[in-house]
Structure 1
Amino acid sequence: MSGWTKLPQTVTLSEEIAQLESNMSHWPNESSVSKQLYDRALEVMPGGITRNQPWQEPFPIYAARGEGAYVFDVDGTKRLDLLNNFASLVHGHAHPEVVEKVRERVGLGTAFTLPTEAEILLAETLTRRVERFEWVRFSNSGSEAVMCAIKAARALTGRPKLVKLEGAYHGSYDFAEVSLDSNPENWGNEPRSVGFSAGVPQGILNDVIVIPFNDVETAERIIRASREDIAAILIDTNPSYLGFAPISPAFAEMVRRVSRDIGALLILDEVITFRLHVGGAQSLYGIEPDLTCLAKIIGGGLPIGAVAGPRDVMKVFDHRQGKPLLPWSGTFTGNPVSTVAGSVSLELLTKEMIDHIGRLGAHLRDELSKVMEKTGFPGQVTGVGSMFKICGHQRPITDYRSAYHNPSEAKTLRLLQGQLVRESYHVSSAGLGFLSTPMSLDDIDGFIQATERAIHALEPELQG
């Protein structure tokens, strides 16, 4: 075990209570184990991290273990995990049935150059849940799934351009990242194609058309202006960067109708929203996509991605008549550990479980809104089902621009999030949260009470 930092031993309930009472001293204490680990990480990784989203000022909190709805950090602090690895742990941490099947599978081998029954079982599980899922093609992440779907649309249509929503997140792919974080200085009167990272080629920006969410007239006009060149329209029914604002029925009807009119594919990103209904958000909102991108909960907490759809579209991957239009593969694609974990996780995610976390989500949003009104906190909480987002402003949110935080509003949100971490509740720095099935009403009420305490503790800074 040389080179590893010694972690706290498992503690009793009374010891956990004592730890909770002293949590405030653990982070961001300069003498904490998390700080020691971060200092080591700075020597071997850029900025000391390998993922940007979990970053926490002034240094990240390092996890030791997870159990159900809770995560324990390396300093022994127990927090309610309201983030669940950005929506991938719908059953929380270390669900016994998932752990049992994964242990059994690992003992038989983790990856092969040969296919396994496990990938068939997960594909069968998915096709049973959604009628339009006739064939499934696996990948290793949500980013890969989106990349795969975009390439499939280009292969089938012979066209280059992609239409996407302003401010919608679809993973780490240049085309999908366009206008992800545009701002008032560069977004234009109507959405412009703005690169997310430095060095995005102009050719990529030229091939991505950005439309405003839920603005039917403007979006349809922009799409039809390039109708001959569009391969696909990529949408999300509840974009996370937009506070999970729901797609309007009129907008959903428009993108489906127009995509058919112009001969383009409609791609639905369900990487996050598949948790909203047994049949995903497409069943909840009555949308019929040509391709659906999946990840997160379909892997049971392990890396995975997938594209699913009707056979007449998914034939783009079929190799049986020679080289397919899209040869898609990967060393770990469809690996048996992820697919076994995913099958178990989805079988456990029944309608009753989805309803349970949906009720908890509604309760959280309702009660947290009351707290914000009572305390005069200049923010709001939005969301749907088991997903929520705390915002640092009170504007009605319908699209990216109404959701956008100016520097002052972003600071308000960061202050609240940091205080919630000190209160032993884990939410993202962007205010995002995703509930898990082990959570109880008491867990949510505890979070609501902690948020009220956090707001009061921040009053001097917020008023300043």
Structure 2
Amino acid sequence: MRHSENCAETASGNRSEAAFLRERKVVPGGSMRAASWFQPHPPYAAKGEGCWVIDVDGRRLLDCANNFFSLIHGHAFEPVLEAVRGAMSKGTAFGMPTESEILLAEALAERSPRLEQTRFCNSGTEAVLAAIKGARGLTGREKIAKFEGCYHGAYDWIEVSLDPTPANWNDEAGNPASVRCNAGTPDSVLRETVVLPYDDPQRCADILLREGPSLAAVIVDPHASRAGAVPMSRETAAVVQQACRKHGIVLIADEVISFRLSFEGASPLFGLEPDLVTTAKIIGGGLPIGAVSGSRDRMSVFDHSAGKPIVSMGGTFSANPLSMAAGLASLTHYSRAAVERLNTLGDRLRQRVRAGFASSGAEASITGMGSLFRLHVGRHEVTGYRSAYANADTAKLIRRVQLAMLDENILLTPNCSGALSTPMTETEVDLIADKLVGVVSKGIGENSAPG
């Protein structure tokens, strides 16, 4: 049976709706990713141009989702396209190393001495998985610690306490409990995962003092989107750093999203000196990628040159030449000047939104750092996962804001977070800010749902 290239329109003439109805017959839930799906159906992308994406119905959407923050240069960035075309003409994958992997590893090392050596994989999840295995191999320990509400990919241990609720987020001692995210997660995984509070340095210190000698790794994202997109306090970062040094714990910095925050990455902004750093998203130029980086000494855990490594790390498409070429082009054009310009635009966005909320009396706030931002509903200060937690009513408001922004032709993620990309200017940033203030002020300031 031969299928047509495009989906037919429904009676309403909506091609995205037709695509969804067709897809749900062959895909569970009618979409490949829960994170990009929402009622009644998501718009289906047709093509992208810079900071804009055009859906199959011809709508031009200002894209603040950027494939969940991976497209630092927006869509169809010509240097990336040129690099991929050149690499593709020579072959898409080989059972041999290529010089392209050397070039991208060198580009990372030039940005920070902490990225002295790198092993590539195909996603941020794979990178975190490998880093945790590496930490266990280096220490001979099994338990890990992570922060409550922080997302580090789809891996049993780091999914623990990804989305706890007020009903289950404390243990008997009043500390963050180890809560399973998905059905079927073994109890042994919960026992091997220690959960830390994102915004309570003293309690964090107490937990690490007790658990430190048994921990292989502490994994930290100092600007965790799921934990509220709030920069981690210097006090909490110092507690983690000191505990890792005292107890010989491997400190893993998950910079899959936050690497964009400075030329050298996020860790230096918080005084962190990680043993291993995981990156992905912007280092791939829009193609699948992940990476584990660290000092030569730490990365030796993956060294296979003398025989069986302490920890194996590899994959059929790891360091494929297309991702390597795209990643090199992406990093080359994300210079210090480009980072500073984009961070300045992010500051402008947040300042403009805050001023608009204050003027309108809207019960909402915006958090973020650099080119990242996230909307919150309510007048309370957001300091971490618990204060960012949205109950059913709040979650409904957030989703309605997202849909109202979509009606204004601006695409945010389902929890109303977003990222800027280098094609954006003050014009686009002001448009995002003004539309967000207008939608929220109308819908929340008057205590009614927007849209």
TM-score for both structures, normalised by structure 1: 0.93
The question of 1:380 aligning with 2:365 is answered: yes
The question of 1:158 aligning with 2:150 is answered: no
Partners in 2 of 1:350 and 1:243 — Cα distance? 27
**What is the match of residue 424 of structure 1?**
409
Call closer, same or farther: CA 1:228–1:413 in 2, change over 3 Å. Answer: same
Partners in 1 of 2:404 and 2:268 — Cα distance? 38
1:181-220 alignment, distance < 5 Å: 181-188=163-170, 189-220=174-205
Give the secondary-structure state (helix, strand or coil) at the position aligned to 2:431.
helix
**What is the match of residue 176 of structure 1?**
158
Give the secondary-structure state (helix, strand or coil) at the position aligned to 2:366.
strand
Q: What code does the residue aligned with 2:399 have?
A: R
**What is the match of residue 23 of structure 2?**
41
- Cα pair 2:7 2:18 within 8 Å, conserved: no
Partners in 2 of 1:376 and 1:114 — Cα distance? 60
- Cα pair 2:124 2:279 within 8 Å, conserved: yes
- Cα pair 2:363 2:444 within 8 Å, conserved: no
Q: Which runs of 5+ in 1 are unaligned?
A: 8-25
Q: Which runs of 5+ in 2 are unaligned?
A: none
**What is the match of residue 307 of structure 1?**
292
The question of 1:103 aligning with 2:94 is answered: no
Once the 2 structures are TM-superposed, how far is the Cα of residue 279 of structure 1 from its aligned partner? 0.2
Call closer, same or farther: CA 1:148–1:94 in 2, change over 3 Å. Answer: same
Once the 2 structures are TM-superposed, how far is the Cα of residue 452 of structure 1 from its aligned partner? 3.7
**What is the match of residue 74 of structure 2?**
92
**What is the match of residue 47 of structure 2?**
65
Once the 2 structures are TM-superposed, how far is the Cα of residue 388 of structure 1 from its aligned partner? 0.1
**What is the match of residue 339 of structure 2?**
354
Q: For residues 417-459 of structure 1, what are the alpha-carbon distances to aligned partners after superposition, in whole Å with 9 as ceiling and x for unaligned?
A: 1100010000011011010000011111112232244236536
Q: For residues 322-342 of structure 1, what are the alpha-carbon distances to aligned partners after superposition, in whole Å with 9 as ceiling and x for unaligned?
A: 200001110000000001100
Call closer, same or farther: CA 1:460–1:167 in 2, change over 3 Å. Answer: closer
- Cα pair 2:362 2:445 within 8 Å, conserved: no
Partners in 2 of 1:420 and 1:64 — Cα distance? 20
Match of 1:449 among 434, 440, 451: 434
Partners in 2 of 1:281 and 1:175 — Cα distance? 23
- Cα pair 2:357 2:441 within 8 Å, conserved: no
What value does the CA root-mean-square deviation take over the aligned residues?
1.8
Partners in 1 of 2:306 and 2:300 — Cα distance? 10
**What is the match of residue 101 of structure 2?**
119
Call closer, same or farther: CA 1:368–1:450 in 2, change over 3 Å. Answer: same
Q: For residues 352-396 of structure 1, what are the alpha-carbon distances to aligned partners after superposition, in whole Å with 9 as ceiling and x for unaligned?
A: 111111111111111111222233322111100000001122221
Partners in 2 of 1:294 and 1:63 — Cα distance? 26
Partners in 1 of 2:230 and 2:442 — Cα distance? 29
Partners in 1 of 2:404 and 2:24 — Cα distance? 25
Give the secondary-structure state (helix, strand or coil) at the position aligned to 1:156.
helix
Q: For residues 142-200 of structure 1, what are the alpha-carbon distances to aligned partners after superposition, in whole Å with 9 as ceiling and x for unaligned?
A: 00000000000011111110000001110111101100100100001320000111111
- Cα pair 1:105 1:340 within 8 Å, conserved: yes
Once the 2 structures are TM-superposed, how far is the Cα of residue 287 of structure 1 from its aligned partner? 1.3
- Cα pair 1:139 1:305 within 8 Å, conserved: yes
Moved more, 129-138 or 370-379: 370-379
Partners in 2 of 1:185 and 1:252 — Cα distance? 28
**What is the match of residue 325 of structure 1?**
310
- Cα pair 2:125 2:154 within 8 Å, conserved: yes
Q: For residues 3-43 of structure 1, what are the alpha-carbon distances to aligned partners after superposition, in whole Å with 9 as ceiling and x for unaligned?
A: 21179xxxxxxxxxxxxxxxxxx9x9953000000001011
Q: What code does the residue aligned with 2:4 have?
A: G
Give the secondary-structure state (helix, strand or coil) at the position aligned to 2:423.
coil
Q: What code does the residue aligned with 1:4 have?
A: E
The question of 1:409 aligning with 2:394 is answered: yes
Q: What code does the residue aligned with 2:20 have?
A: Y
- Cα pair 2:49 2:75 within 8 Å, conserved: yes
The question of 1:132 aligning with 2:114 is answered: yes
Call closer, same or farther: CA 1:372–1:132 in 2, change over 3 Å. Answer: same
- Cα pair 2:7 2:19 within 8 Å, conserved: no
Give the secondary-structure state (helix, strand or coil) at the position aligned to 1:53.
helix
Give the secondary-structure state (helix, strand or coil) at the position aligned to 1:240.
coil
Give the secondary-structure state (helix, strand or coil) at the position aligned to 1:162.
strand
Give the secondary-structure state (helix, strand or coil) at the position aligned to 1:463.
coil
- Cα pair 1:242 1:397 within 8 Å, conserved: no
Identical positions, percent: 43
Q: What code does the residue aligned with 1:92 have?
A: G
- Cα pair 1:302 1:341 within 8 Å, conserved: yes
TM-score for both structures, normalised by structure 2: 0.95
1:236-247 alignment, distance < 5 Å: 236-247=221-232
